Every structure is written in C-alpha cells, then in structure tokens.
Amino acid sequence: MRTQVCIIGGGPSGLLLSQILHRAGIDTVVLERRSRAYVLGRIRAGVLESGLTDMLRAAGVGDRLDREGFPHGGTQLAAAGRRFRIDFEKHTGRKVTVYGQTEVTRDLYAARDAMGGVVIHGAEGVAIHGADSEAPFVTWVENGTETRLDCDYIAGCDGFHGVSRPTIPESVRQTFERVYPFGWLGVLSETPPVDHELIYANHPRGFALASMRNEGLSRYYVQVPLEDRVEAWSDDAFWDEFRRRMPQDVAEALVTGPSVEKSIAPLRSFIAEPMRWGRLFLVGDAAHIVPPTGAKGLNLAASDVNYLSNALIAHYAGEGPERLDGYSADALARVWKASRFSWQLTTLLHRFPDQEAFGQRMQEAEIAYLESSDAAQASFSENYVGLPYDRVS
C-alpha cells in the first residue's frame, strides 16, 4: 500500500490534517489504535479559538459549529469573594467559541466518511521506519496481520503517549517539562450553566472553573491534590467544594445534578524540540502538552495543523521544501508563547502546596491589577482568543 502522507493518530489533529490535505488533492491514510467510539467518548477541550473555527469552516466542517457553537466575547475572573469580566471583543475584536472537542471530532469523522477518507481503526503496534531516509514506511498489525504502508511523509498526530515522538533519536530530541503538584477534578452534568460565561476562580482552598458545553450541559472543575482518587469524590462532595470556591452569588445560583462524567486530569507543561525529524513531523499533543488553564491544548494542535498543511500543500504544488523546512520553527514559536500563557494562568489561579499567605496575596494583587488595568486586560484577551498564526521561518 502507498500514500502521500501517512497520519498516525485519529484524534482532532490527525483528522483535521487529513481533511485539509484531502481537499487539496493530497492522499492520506489515518492509522488509529482505538475504536471510533472510544475516540468520540473522551471528554476534553471545550473552548475554540477563532483560528481553529476558521480552519474548520475552510475545511468544510463548520456548519454544525456555526449552528450549535456558542460565541463568547469575554470571560470572568473571581478572587477574594468578587468577580469581574474581561471583554475580549472590546480588546481584540474577536471571540472564542464554546463547542466540545467531542463535537469537533464527530464532525471531522462525518466529513472524512463523506469524502471517502481512509481511517483505519484498531491499528496495533504502529512502527515508523526510515523516517530519516528518502523512503519512509509505517507498519502495523490489524486483525493479526502485519501491513506496510509506504509514503512520502509521516505526520505524528498520536498524542502524548504515541510512538512518533520516541522515534526521534534522543541525541536529536530535547524536552522541557514542568509537572504541577495538583490535578483537575472535572464533572460534566446535564444542568444549565451557572452563568452565560466561563468563571475562573482563585480561592485559598484552590482553583475552580465554571465552564459549559451548551444550555443544558455544564462542565465544572476543582483543583485537587495529585493523590486524590476520583472514586473518593461523591457528587455531593464535588458540589460542596465547588460552591465554597466560587463567589456567594455564583454558589447560590448553581443548579446541581448527577454527574454524567467525572475524571481527574494531572497538569503538566511539556515541549519536545524539534518537531520535525527527516520526513516525520510531530503535531499536537505528540509534541507538546499544556496545563488546561486557558484552554490551549486543542487550539495549539490546530495551529500545528495549519503550519504543516500549508507547508505540504506548498511542497506538492512544486514550491520547494522551504516551508516544510520551516515547520518546526514556525510551530514552536507559537507553542512556546501559548505555553507561557497557560503556565502563567495556572500559576496565577492555583493554590500551590508550599504557598504561604504572601503567595496568596500576590495572586490576589495580580488579579486586582488585571481588574483595574486596560493594558493588562488587553494582554490577557490577546492571548486568550489566540495569538496569530505568524511564521518565523
């Protein structure tokens, strides 16, 4: 079997890349280890930057997003029992869209099916061969039989635990990491959101976030110690803790109900450099992880897809290898900036185990500065709605 671009991983990065390339006349095969139902069952991101929504529309997958997504022109921050609003629209002229990652993935699978895109599920033992040669190929086992796919290029869209990043030799690869000493306990509940906007709360007991998916589906989080087990958190215990960390009016307005999903996610910042080795390109979580504060994970995966799809399209149009050569530098420049924002917001809003009263007051002072300064709000807004897809190469 042969294709032009072999894409490893059928999450949002891999599917969006294959959709864009296919529409540009470039042949792809997507290899996904899990079943489609498993991929669609993962509750993850919920806030999309305009760069991503523009890409989805351009890729022919924007109809349901435009009908069912919720544009948000601002967000709220809470601390010391009060809250205030940051107006993205005023500062940047742009909004974000609340639309779940599960919905994005569902739309992408529907679009791939409609175009006859090849997505192979249940691909076990995927291995990359000759990525630094002129003739790379990928092998995997499907229903007990080994299959080989020859290709021009390989896109490693296989997430943090995939095979693509470790294929780059350690002598070439550099990694940068910060593991945070807490996690997020998240609850999805079929209740109306407590507010029409997201509320990020700093509280001496720890961070809390009120988010949503639609008018009847809410997503709430509280910071928890890393050792906590999700089974030990009853729904009632979650709601009590969430209420304690929100300003009183929010706590009083909260409508609670049974959780339909509950999980704990650890927080880390991680970046691998370079994002290209020979004919292998890393995309999305395969190359970098951000802590969820600020909702940058999925949006960074999308900006990588933007750089790589443009570079491959230019290459196959005969424009030479310059853009492919610049992929790693272009993608990483934006990754570092978004990682900085996620790290800063995580540091500002969470309670650290060794934090004394001074640290708490510093956070409250910085939040008060954000409330009072137009310049600080403009900077926050510019980062939150998403930095431009600039190129440095």
Considering only residues 3, 5, 7, 10, which one is a binding residue for ligand FAD as defined by CB under 6 A? 10
Among 253, 254, 250, CA closest to 239: 254
**What token pair was written down for 168?**
């780059």
| Total binding residues toward ligand DHB, as defined by CB under 6 A | 10
User: Does residue 72 carry a catalytic annotation?
Assistant: yes
Considering only residues 295, 298, 301, 367, which one is a binding residue for ligand DHB as defined by CB under 6 A? 295
User: DSSP characters for 360-389?
Assistant: HHHHHHHHHHHHH-HHHHHHHHHHHH----
- Tell me: does residue 219 bind ligand DHB (CB under 6 A): yes
CA dist 139 → 1, 13, 31, 282 (Å): 10, 21, 10, 18
Cis peptide before 274 (omega within 30 of 0): yes
Instruction: Name the burial class of residue 125, with classes exposed (0-12), middle (13-18) and buried (19+) by CB atoms within 10 angstroms of its CB.
Output: exposed
Among 64, 39, 40, 42, CA closest to 53: 64
Exactly one of 12, 193, 291, 292 is catalytic; name it. 292
Instruction: Indicate the residue among 53 and 293 with the shorter CB distance to ligand DHB.
Output: 293
User: Does residue 296 carry a catalytic annotation?
Assistant: yes
- Tell me: does residue 193 bind ligand DHB (CB under 6 A): no
Considering only residues 156, 159, 193, 386, which one is a binding residue for ligand FAD as defined by CB under 6 A? 159
Asked if 307 and 330 touch (Cβ cutoff 8 Å), the reply is yes
User: DSSP characters for 94-162?
Assistant: --EEE--HHHHHHHHHHHHHHTT-EEE-S-EEEEEE-TTSSS-EEEEEETTEEEEEE-SEEEE---TTS
Q: What mask, x for binding ligand FAD by CB under 6 A, covers residues 311 to 350?
A: ----------------------------------------
Using Cβ positions, the residue closest to ligand DHB within the complex turns out to be 46
Instruction: Indicate the residue among 211 and 377 with the shorter CB distance to ligand DHB.
Output: 211
Q: What letter represents residue 230's amino acid?
A: V
List the single partner that 13 binds among ligand FAD, ligand DHB, none, CB under 5 to 8 Å by kind.
ligand FAD
**Span 122-151, contacts to ligand FAD by CB under 6 A:** 123, 126
User: Does residue 95 carry a catalytic annotation?
Assistant: no
Considering only residues 114, 265, 362, 365, which one is a binding residue for ligand FAD as defined by CB under 6 A? 265
d(CA 189, CA 262): 9
- Tell me: does residue 117 bind ligand DHB (CB under 6 A): no
Instruction: Indicate the residue among 163 and 194 with the shorter CB distance to ligand FAD.
Output: 163
User: Does residue 203 carry a catalytic annotation?
Assistant: no
- Tell me: does residue 296 bind ligand FAD (CB under 6 A): yes
Exactly one of 200, 221, 307, 327 is catalytic; name it. 200
d(CA 272, CA 255): 42
CB of 351 to ligand FAD, least distance (A): 19
Which residues of the shown chain bind ligand DHB in the complex (CB under 6 A)?
Answer: 45-47, 198, 211, 219, 292-295
Q: Please give the positions annotated as active site.
A: 72, 200, 292, 296, 384
